[in-house]
Structure 1
Amino acid sequence: MNQRARIAMSDDDIAAFLQESRKLQLATINQDGTPHLVTMFYAMDAGRIAFWTYGKAQKTRNLERDPRVSCLIETGDDYADLRGVLVYGVAEQVDKTLDIGMEIARRMTPGVPDELLREYVEHTGKKRTAFVVEPTKVVSWDHRRLS
């Protein structure tokens, strides 16, 4: 078995890693072809990465023009502890802004009661839109498997 295969996560490990993480690096494509890279809090929706953003944000404009994305979720400071998942996919705008906003708010602020989060989500959600990422390719690594 080659080293690449040794460090790849199983589907169950990928699902658990995505569920336990909170932030990702989201890359969209600017009009001139350069990458637009931002950190986003995210949630999971039926096994897919979901995020929300302001309707007038650069990433929204980019996705309206070209829905291809890359999502990087990673952790670890030392080489032997590096773990990550890179999801290539297509972002689809969905009519679930408040639901996805609530899931993201829960992940951002664990332990805060829903009734407190709902006011924030409903207020800021008026100017936001939500997306889910339909994966086209998933790459993973867990360097802890090297020892």
Structure 2
Amino acid sequence: MSRRDQIRMTEDEVRAFFAEQKVINVASVGPNGRPHLAPLWYYPHEDGVATWTYGTSQKAKNLQRLPEATVLIEDGDSYEKLRGVSLEADVELVEDTGEVTRMGITLMQRYAGAKPGDPVPSELSGFIAGQAPKRVGLIFRPTKIVSWDHTKLGGLY
């Protein structure tokens, strides 16, 4: 078995990794053809991830022009602890204000420590409803997934 095969995460491990991490790095193609890289909060969605951003942001403009991105989620502060997932993804831009509101609530509840299905405080729903018209939802649907978990090597290289 190759080292690459030894460190690959299973589908369940990838899902668990998505659930435990907090920041994605999204690379889109800028108007000059160069990568545009931006960190974003996210939540796991189907086989990929989802988030929102301001509709006038550079990443939103890039993704409207070319709805493809590479997403990196990584963790680890030394070689033997490195873990990560890279997604090549098609991107669905969500502009429906009601759906963007739902996405914003899901996102904010995740970062507030709420569990799916927990009641939404009225202050939060009011704040998100005010933000949603200025934002677009982004759903990253993986076309290719590459993962690595160096902890599986047991400290051996």
TM superposition score category, shorter chain reference:
over 0.9
Distance 1:44 1:98 in 2: 17
Structure 2 unaligned segments of length 5 or more: list them. Answer: none
Note the alpha carbon deviations across 1:7-58, whole angstroms, 9 max, x for none.
0000110011112212100111001110110100011223321110011000
3-state SS of 1:32 partner:
coil
* TM-score, reference length from structure 2: 0.88
Deviation at 1:98, TM superposition (A): 1.1
Q: CA deviation at 1:123?
A: 1.5
Q: Which residue of 2 aligns with 1:97?
A: 100
CA–CA separation in structure 2 for the residues paired with 1:58 and 1:113: 33
Larger radius of gyration: 2
Q: Which residue of 2 aligns with 1:141?
A: 148
| Residue 116 (structure 2) pairs with residue 110 (structure 1) | no
Check the 8 A contact 2:47/2:141 in 1, yes or no: no
Amino acid at match of 1:24: I
In the other structure, the counterpart of 1:73 is: 73
Q: What amino acid sits opposite 1:114 in the alignment? A: V
Gapped regions of structure 1 (runs ≥ 5): none
Number of residues paired by the alignment? 147
- Superposed CA deviations along residues 68-119 of structure 1, whole A, max 9, x for unmatched, are 1011001111111111000111111123211111111012222597214222
Q: Which residue does 2:10 correspond to in 1?
A: 10
Structure 2 CA distance for aligned equivalents of residues 99 and 45 of structure 1: 13
Could you say which residue in structure 1 is the equivalent of 2:22? Answer: 22
Identity of aligned residues (%): 36
RMSD: 1.5
SS in 2 for 1:33: coil
Secondary structure of residue in 2 paired with 1:4:
helix
- Bigger drift between 40-49 and 16-25 goes to 40-49
Q: Is the 8 A contact 2:28 2:62 kept in 1?
A: yes
Looking at structure 2, the residues matched to 72 and 117 of structure 1 have their Cα atoms a distance apart, in angstroms, of: 29
More divergent stretch after superposition (113-122 vs 19-28):
113-122
Instruction: Give the letter aligned to residue 31 of structure 1.
Output: P
**What corresponds to 1:49 in structure 2?**
49
The amino acid across from 1:130 in the alignment is: G
Tell me whether 1:31 sits opposite 2:31 in the alignment: yes
Q: Which amino acid letter does the alignment assign opposite residue 19 of structure 1?
A: A
Kept in 1, the 8 Å contact 2:72–2:85? The answer is yes
